Structure 1
Amino acid sequence: MDIVDMAKRIVAGERRALARAITLVESSRADHRAQSRTLLETLRNHAPERQALHIGLSGTPGVGKSSFIESFGLMLTGQALKVAVLAVDPSSARSGGSILGDKTRMEHLSRDRNAFIRPSPSQTELGGVARRTREAVALCEAAGFDVILIETVGVGQSETTVAQMSDLFILLMAPAGGDELQGVKRGIMEIADMILVNKADGALKDVATRTCADYAGALRLMRKRVYDPENFPKACTVSAWEGHGLEAAWDDMKALADWRKTEGHWATRRAEQARYWFEEEVRQSLLAQLQTNNAVASRMNTLGQAVSDGQTDASAAAAEILQMLKIQP
């Protein structure tokens, strides 16, 4: 595989090369991981100045994330912007498989020449995103996309990981999503930059307006963040079905992004995210050693059985494994 040629094709905006590159970075094979690292470093040299707006989108299942993304994406492409959608589908805990049906739910956007949609399985990852989503974002950015939408699985409070790869984090809520959502609201609302109450149309319009007012009141009670201007974070109503509120929401997103760039928060945030993913890569690589190192994996099985049988203490067994990895317990 010619990595330099692939990089040039990605920078030129070739979709097939971009799709192949995302498949490469998602692979867990050792040779593919080495090639993906080379590719990302090559792209850093070929397109160092390209910066897209990264928008993370989260919300409970059934809130209309895919419908919102299609309507919102079509509005953006109608403004001559190039939009990439990275949709993370939940993987089965039993088989490990994923339906990867997001692209079929975005029928019109998937046919738009200025849009690129890539569904990926979440596999065993928590946080609502796949492990290599961040690298896929970097590839789309190098390919010249203006806006990158990262749609999460829709699992609730643990989805805060997506905020570590987004410039803006948008939380979609449904009208009258009351008591049954209390368990997910606090943690995820604290990191949201905007809350959009979807389905504000038809019989639900008045309910959506009241729900939006409730969320706006809740946001005002939260501690002010240093990287927010006045009136942010904020809550608004939108209708993915009718298209109402989408342009206003986009204007708010642009205003927030521009303010953060002017005030220096944009660069600081991206630097913090880079540091976070460096540390996360180290953690994940160390955990992978437990499965890929045959000697360690074998000893893990032996010690695991011993702990189950009460023959040894869990802490002592863990210390032995750490010693094998040459890590001080």
Structure 2
Amino acid sequence: MTNLARSPDLAGIAALVSGVRARNRAAVARAITLVESKKPAHQADARALLKELLPFTGRATRVGITGVPGVGKSTTIDVLGSHLTAKGHRVAVLAVDPSSTRTGGSILGDKTRMVNLAADDNAFIRPSPSAGTLGGVAAKTRETMLVCEAAGYDVILIETVGIGQSETAVSDLTDTFVALMLPGAGDELQGIKKGLLELADLIAVNKADGDNLARARIAAAEYKAALHILAPASAVWQPPVITYSAATKEGIELLWSHVLDHRKKTSDVGELQEKRRTQQVKWMWAMVDDRLKTKIHSDPTVRARVPALEKAVAEGTLPVSLAAEEIAALLGF
């Protein structure tokens, strides 16, 4: 536990802050690596770094993008990101990959899936292994986002794997949540989670080109009808449904204009500011949960007792509530 309490490396942190603020890509990468590190020796430095960077954050447009595998998330982000950098924006893409169950590392190569942005000096792509965290969202994605904002990236695009509860987690990180859909809704609409439609600030049906165009328009009409039976989350915003094609780039400008319109309307009435304040509090409790889990796994007394408790619970000889109570007592609660 001594490593957790050690003093931060102030000189090293100051140099890193300067590098991030100077938009040095290597410094940004090092800062993110530090923030993502699970080593106790790095955690004090990471906390001190984020404290220094915090005043330079919060100005970016934060957009979450989700959709089922095959919907074209990476292609959409590549095209949208390139569109934005051409307009003078600096774009950071935080792509949360499914993790290898054996190694915990990223098994998809985002830079190979976003070929244009990967070669763009005004874009920064950071794949993050989800490592089993809730909904596939990397535990440190929110801190990575702050580093990118401090480095002057004014648009943050967060791609989620689109499984489990990842939609909720990404919605809690971003200002605008975009759900990408496939053409040919029909029966597929029945399988769309009501929760996803409730979270979405914009629904965009991809692959609206060639033979798919008519099906995409029908799908858009189906989603629009579904949205009308739900109470909108915002008093000033009814989620639009659009069609677009990542392959032909038709509709990309429209997609982005809706993101900006959503940001403006919610900001004008204070909804955006309130949403971010609520997110900050949620982030705080998420970090408390992370610290508690770290303590559980690092405390030698708890680690020594846990296997026996797990065995007793699995065999049905010890009630779950009593096992949980014993672990809490060992931690001093």
TM-score range, shorter chain: over 0.9
Contact 2:185 / 2:222 at 8 angstroms: preserved in 1? no
SS state of the match for residue 190, structure 1?
helix
Task: Please say if 1:88 is aligned against 2:96.
Answer: yes
From 28, 32, 41, the counterpart of 1:18: 28
Provide the C-alpha distance between the structure 1 equivalents of 2:264 and 2:206, rounded to a whole number of angstroms: 25
Instruction: Indicate the residue corresponding to 2:4 in structure 1.
Output: none
Instruction: Indicate the residue corresponding to 1:34 in structure 2.
Output: 44
Summarize deviations over 1:249-286 as a string: whole Å, max 9, x none: 11111111011111111111110000001011112221
Tell me by how many angstroms 1:224 deviates: 2.3
Task: Please say if 1:114 is aligned against 2:122.
Answer: yes
Q: TM-score, normalised by structure 1?
A: 0.94
Provide the C-alpha distance between the structure 2 equivalents of 1:141 and 1:114, rounded to a whole number of angstroms: 13
Instruction: Indicate the residue corresponding to 1:229 in structure 2.
Output: 236
Task: Please say if 1:59 is aligned against 2:57.
Answer: no
SS state of the match for residue 133, structure 2?
coil
From 303, 306, 322, the counterpart of 1:297: 303
CA RMSD in angstroms comes to: 1.6
Summarize deviations over 1:47-83 as a string: whole Å, max 9, x none: 26x5100000011001000000011111111111111
Letter of the 1:229 counterpart: V
Provide the C-alpha distance between the structure 1 equivalents of 2:301 and 2:186, rounded to a whole number of angstroms: 51
Task: Please say if 1:313 is aligned against 2:319.
Answer: yes
SS state of the match for residue 295, structure 2?
helix
Provide the C-alpha distance between the structure 2 equivalents of 1:250 and 1:108, rounded to a whole number of angstroms: 18
Letter of the 1:14 counterpart: N
Tell me by how many angstroms 1:320 deviates: 1.0
Letter of the 1:37 counterpart: R
Contact 2:137 / 2:166 at 8 angstroms: preserved in 1? no
From 274, 280, 284, the counterpart of 2:286: 280
SS state of the match for residue 172, structure 2?
helix
Residue segments in structure 1 that go unaligned for 5+ positions in a row: none
Provide the C-alpha distance between the structure 2 equivalents of 1:43 and 1:311, rounded to a whole number of angstroms: 51
SS state of the match for residue 9, structure 1?
helix
Aligned residues: 323
SS state of the match for residue 127, structure 2?
strand
Contact 1:100 / 1:121 at 8 angstroms: preserved in 2? no
Contact 1:122 / 1:153 at 8 angstroms: preserved in 2? no
Letter of the 2:291 counterpart: S
From 194, 197, 203, the counterpart of 2:202: 194
SS state of the match for residue 274, structure 2?
helix
Tell me by how many angstroms 1:177 deviates: 4.4
Provide the C-alpha distance between the structure 1 equivalents of 2:325 and 2:187, rounded to a whole number of angstroms: 44
Provide the C-alpha distance between the structure 1 equivalents of 2:292 and 2:125, rounded to a whole number of angstroms: 32
From 2, 18, 43, the counterpart of 1:8: 18
Contact 1:157 / 1:183 at 8 angstroms: preserved in 2? no
Q: Percent identity?
A: 45
Summarize the alignment of residues 149-228 of structure 1 with structure 2, pairs less than 5 Å apart: 149-180=157-188, 182-225=190-233, 227-228=234-235
Provide the C-alpha distance between the structure 2 equivalents of 1:211 and 1:285, rounded to a whole number of angstroms: 44
Residue segments in structure 2 that go unaligned for 5+ positions in a row: 1-8
SS state of the match for residue 258, structure 2?
helix
More moved, 100-109 vs 161-170: 100-109
Tell me by how many angstroms 1:305 deviates: 1.9
Letter of the 1:270 counterpart: R
SS state of the match for residue 261, structure 2?
helix
Distance 1:228 1:16, change over 3 A: farther
Q: TM-score, normalised by structure 2?
A: 0.93
Contact 2:185 / 2:218 at 8 angstroms: preserved in 1? no
Letter of the 2:258 counterpart: D
Tell me by how many angstroms 1:158 deviates: 4.1
